[in-house]
Chains A and B, each alone.
Chain A
Amino acid sequence: MSRKITIEPVTRVEGHGKVTIHMDDLGNVTQSRLHIVEFRGFERFVQGRPYWEAPVLVQRLCGICPVSHHLAAAKALDVIVGAGTGDGLSPTGEKMRRLMHYGQMFQSHSLHFFHLSAPDFLFGIDGDPAVRNIIGIALTRPELAVQGVMMRKFGQEIIRATAGKKIHGTGAIPGGINKHLTLEEKNEFLHGADPLNADKMVNWASEAIEFFKNYYAANKSFIENFAHFPSNHLSLVRKDGALDLYHGVLRAVDAEGKKVLNDVDYQEYNQYIEEEVRPWSYMKFPYLKHLGKEKGWYRVGPLARLNTADFIPTPLAQKEFEAFKALTHGKPNNHCLLTHYARLIETLHAAEMIRELLNDDDLLKGELVVKGTKQKEGVGLIEAPRGTLFHHYRINDHDQIEMANLIVSTTNNNEPMNRSVNFVAKEIMTGKDVITEGMMNAVEVAIRAYDPCLSCATHALGKMPLEITLVNSENQVIDRKRSFS
């Protein structure tokens, strides 16, 4: 009898999702799919609201990455208020926003590594789930747990200082920012008591890379053979090709490194990107129009960004970038699990950028807001922790939003996440009579590498236990168990 295995929801990712694995009578995996229910209600919700409210309203989408939505919306509205397309702000406006963004990147990446990924590395993906979590880390490697907590806290404090408050931050406004950094805040972040200062964060970010490198060296074969497949990679890059997480042009490269989207203006993103609807999933599948659905899908996020960028404009991260690129002789890296390595290099870059920005006096004084001739439409793109985030708004004559379109990072990664699940399921489940917790976790390890934010993608509140259901081809439940929770 053929079987269908359902993992619901996926553990340790934001929100919740469901993985279905179909097996035939011989135990072969025939098909695997990641299901995410996506509601497009938010775009409708903002219609009719005054455009200047959008940077605050969009934070309702998600309590995990509100800063990314806040900044992407503000960037789109910069265009509408005539402040240019991301590079027309005052030095103070742009640098304060960048500080906010790198704070967000730093805390999000740190949380992902120490809370979600490190347990798999420390205890093994088939390790005891009772200890394969940050509580287990706190018991066995308390210094790492403290590091994770403090790195997250430092990033959160940067956000609070730049966005104004933790909930519904108001820092970024159309055309700029609404406050300066105070001298006290600057000094606290630069020279605060150990460990909460920028130098310590740079050191810890470097140490986290060493931690991963050691794991990689000891598990090279596993990492390189886990969910590896060629793909296109898409991200913003600075006009000179540097890694830039806040602003730039849109670039995509194929699996061999050939540019398939050559540094285009993202205001025209809908000339290049299409979203496909598939009947079995509410979440759309974006692809590059000119390459078509079959060949045009792409990855976004840390791995994609290190594949599209030519260099990293901070010294320590650049050194790590060179080592990372050497692994694949300069070609794009298509190893799913090395996304963690890329994420940690970005964490180091974010820490370096935070330190560099804090030493810039433009944060303390100068013009906050720039405005020009009002436009009716604007697009804001940002490299959110999980990947490229698109916000697109059009307003009417009454300054009300009449159209909004959001493509969130997790939606951009829909196809590669599905391919990763399928790859891993076939590798480890084919021919097996018993599906162990370790096997289930391996599927989830593949998904977690993308750090999907299902709350953003689904716009739903996510809070469910892990439940695994085994169903036969006639949709009869033959087994159901609740995994460790």
Chain B
Amino acid sequence: MPEKGKILVYGYGNPGRQDDGLGAAFISRLEQWIAENHFQHVDTDTNYQLNIEDAAAIHPYDEVVFVDASVEDIHDFDFSEVKPDNAKVEFTMHAVSPAFVIDLCRKIYGKSPKARLLHIKGYEWEFEERLTPQACDNLDKAFDFLINYLKTND
């Protein structure tokens, strides 16, 4: 059980599909930063995609930040609140959304953490384990942003 006030940063996506690996790359960099800076109040997790058991994984936390690659029409990254009451039921098990996980968590455990989504713009999705240069740039910007956010909330 995490200590009170802890934040979970959870990246997801398939690193074998180029920019779909942004979430995992973000977590890898964040773990290194946490170790180097002896940052105490952040836990990390990563997986290919979100799924129903993540409702159990997130429920002890006060806050969770999901990190995912995005195909949406955004410039470099977007940071937004995830509200459980706008959860849509996704039809494939590949695509359980953060809102779904939060909603399921709330219905099972009676509460859910405050949740935010860090969407990082990606461009290519082929069988290759390498981020595109533009995605790397976006990752840098998103990383700097979240570090400031975490420090502010420390």
Contacts and interface: CB of A to CB of B under 8 A. Distances in A.
B53 A64 contact: no
Contacts of B91: 9, 11-12, 465-466, 485
Interface stretch (B31-39, B92-100, B142-150): B92-100
A12 B92 contact: yes
Interface in B77-121: 87-95, 100, 103-104, 107-108
B46 A167 contact: yes
Interface string A1-33: 000000001011111100000000000000000
A349 interface: no
A152 B108 CA distance: 15
A45 B127 CA distance: 7
A138 B108 contact: yes
Nearest to A143: B108
A43 B37 CA distance: 43
B16 A461 contact: no
B15 interface: yes
Given A148-B52, A167-B48, A485 B24 contact: no
A14 B89 contact: no
A430 B56 CA distance: 44
Instruction: List 9 A-B pairs, minimum CB-CB distance, nearest first.
Output: A60-B16, A63-B48, A11-B91, A138-B107, A153-B53, A152-B53, A133-B89, A463-B95, A45-B127
Interface in A175-216: none
Given A66-B48, A111-B52, A14 B92 contact: yes
Contacts of A167: 14-15, 24, 46-48
A63 B94 contact: yes
B94 A115 contact: no
B140 interface: no
Interface string A396-417: 0000000000000000000000
B125 interface: yes
Interface string A134-167: 1100110010011011101100100000000011
B33 to A, nearest CB: 19
B17 interface: yes
B52 A134 contact: yes
A455 B93 CA distance: 11
Given A42-B127, A149-B52, A166-B47, A14 B15 contact: no
A463 B92 contact: yes
B108 A116 contact: no
Contacts of A466: 91
Interface string B43-86: 00011110111011100000000000000000000000000000
A168 B15 contact: yes
A150 B56 CA distance: 8
A407 B100 CA distance: 33
Interface residues of B, number: 33
Given A59-B16, A116-B93, A463-B95, A153 B56 contact: yes
A135 B89 contact: yes
Given A135-B103, A150-B56, A461-B20, A16 B108 contact: no
A459 B15 CA distance: 15
Contacts of A82: none
Contacts of B129: 60
A279 interface: no
A461 B57 CA distance: 25
Given A111-B52, A135-B104, A64 B93 contact: yes
Contact of A149 (B20, B53, B90): B53
Size bracket of the A interface:
35 or more
Interface string B124-135: 010101000000
A462 interface: yes
Interface in A100-150: 111, 114-116, 133-135, 138-139, 142, 145-146, 148-150
A451 to B, nearest CB: 10
A134 B129 CA distance: 33
24 contacts: A11-B91, A14-B92, A16-B92, A60-B16, A60-B17, A63-B47, A64-B49, A64-B94, A111-B51, A111-B93, A135-B107, A138-B104, A145-B107, A146-B108, A148-B52, A149-B52, A153-B57, A166-B47, A166-B48, A167-B14, A461-B94, A463-B92, A484-B89, A485-B89
From A57, A142, A461, residue with most partner B Cβ within 10 Å: A461
Nearest to A66: B48
A133 B104 CA distance: 11
A66 B48 CA distance: 9
Nearest to B23: A167
Contacts of B46: 166-167
B140 to A, nearest CB: 22
B108 A145 contact: yes
Given A60-B129, A485-B89, 10 more contacts: A42-B127, A63-B49, A115-B52, A115-B93, A166-B48, A167-B15, A168-B15, A168-B16, A461-B20, A484-B89
Nearest to B45: A166
Contacts of A152: 51-53
Nearest to A12: B91
Interface in A296-353: none
Contacts of B125: 461
Contacts of A462: 92, 94-95
A149 B103 CA distance: 13
Nearest to B52: A149
